[in-house]
């Protein structure tokens, strides 16, 4: 026989008795929040909560699905349209983390091979990085102490790869071949200084002449440019006809003596040309007796090793024959001897 709560004297609704309760919230064992008097949503009770997701739960992920959803070091995030995607995290998004803190983002350093010092942020030229500096070594790989230098340009000459002609920014082999000859390098300032001050030789120094002339019509000596009053060719001897005017000498006449110069080139009349005043000269048409004196000839402008002997002839030694019979030392003695 059943007993109502009202008839159970001294019993509360929480005391055990044999009355089965049917909850007002629904079927037996199911209680709504509003029916659980004195209970909060965080208290343990017989109500199971099913989370509600967008589109009826289509975007719901469990732990295993999250683990395999993206690549390593990626994390789920809302993409702004209500969906969830797996993405990486930038420095700016890593809240509370500095660039020096350990986190899942790996940094790739730029190679110094393509970076200038000014482009290496935070790295000075004295700090260690991938570029090694050798201040004692030339860019061609040769120590500066071992470099040879071009006399004209002071540029370094180094051994490079075979047949290396070099470029504007790289050195070339010191034995490379140029397609054209180099002009002789002259220091214009030094030449000007000598011209202005003159040449003052100190003790033990000299001006060396080339005695072994190997080619026809060559010379070595002291020369001057003067005017010829008549046409002359190389090897012809001359006297002064007037101030700075030269004409062919003739031992037949004292008026056309003494010999003072020898023409070194073909000079047409009333033109300026080069004359030898003292030195060594070669003419392969000569056939001198080596070591014998050479005289002014009675033939206009000629030389001879036979002294003039006619009455009124002028005898003047103008030089001496050297080796091979084709060279002579031109050194005229201005003393004249007249044949009676």
Beta bridge partners of 101: none
Look at residue 71 in the predicted model and tell me its pLDDT: 62
Distance CA 70, CA 87 (A): 8
For β-strands 303-304 and 327-330, DSSP reports them as unpaired
Look at residue 172 in the predicted model and tell me its pLDDT: 58
Task: Give the start-to-end residue ranges of the domains of the chain.
Answer: 218-338
| Average pLDDT per consecutive 10 residues, the chain (340 residues; last block may be shorter) | 58 58 53 67 61 52 56 69 72 68 58 58 62 51 59 58 52 55 64 80 88 94 96 97 92 96 97 97 96 97 97 97 95 95
DSSP annotation of 242: E
Look at residue 144 in the predicted model and tell me its pLDDT: 55
Distance CA 238, CA 332 (A): 11
Look at residue 199 in the predicted model and tell me its pLDDT: 79
Look at residue 275 in the predicted model and tell me its pLDDT: 97
Element (H, E) at 63: helix 63-68
306 phi, psi to nearest 5 deg: -105, 115
């Amino acid at each position: 026989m059943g007993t109502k709560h009202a008839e159970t004297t001294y019993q509360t609704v929480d005391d055990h008795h044999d009355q089965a309760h049917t909850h007002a919230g629904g079927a037996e064992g199911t209680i709504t929040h509003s029916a659980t008097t004195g209970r909060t949503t965080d208290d343990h009770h017989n109500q199971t909560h099913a989370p509600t997701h967008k589109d009826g739960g289509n975007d719901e992920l469990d732990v295993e699905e999250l683990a395999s959803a993206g690549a390593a070091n990626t994390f789920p995030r809302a993409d702004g349209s209500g969906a969830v995607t797996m993405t990486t995290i930038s420095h700016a998004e890593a809240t509370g983390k500095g660039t020096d803190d350990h986190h899942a983002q790996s940094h790739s350093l730029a190679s110094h091979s393509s970076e200038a010092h000014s482009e290496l942020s935070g790295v000075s030229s004295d700090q260690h990085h991938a570029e090694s500096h050798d201040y004692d070594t030339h860019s061609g790989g040769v120590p500066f102490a071992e470099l040879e230098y071009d006399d004209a340009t002071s540029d370094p000459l180094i051994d490079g790869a075979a047949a290396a002609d070099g470029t504007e920014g790289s050195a070339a082999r010191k034995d490379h071949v140029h397609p054209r000859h180099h002009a002789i390098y002259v220091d214009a300032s030094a030449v000007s200084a000598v011209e202005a001050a003159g040449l003052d030789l100190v003790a033990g120094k000299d001006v060396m002449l080339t005695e072994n002339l190997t080619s026809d019509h060559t010379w070595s000596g002291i020369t001057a440019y003067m005017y010829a009053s008549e046409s002359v060719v190389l090897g012809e001897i001359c006297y002064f006809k007037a101030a700075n005017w030269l004409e062919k000498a003739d031992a037949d006449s004292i008026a056309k003596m003494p010999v003072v110069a020898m023409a070194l080139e073909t000079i047409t009349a009333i033109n300026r040309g080069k004359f030898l005043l003292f030195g060594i000269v070669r003419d392969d048409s000569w056939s001198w007796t080596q070591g014998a004196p050479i005289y002014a000839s009675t033939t206009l402008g000629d030389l001879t090793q036979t002294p003039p002997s006619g009455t009124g002839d002028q005898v003047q030694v103008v030089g001496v024959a050297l080796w091979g019979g084709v060279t002579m030392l031109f050194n005229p003695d201005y003393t004249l001897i007249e044949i009676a």
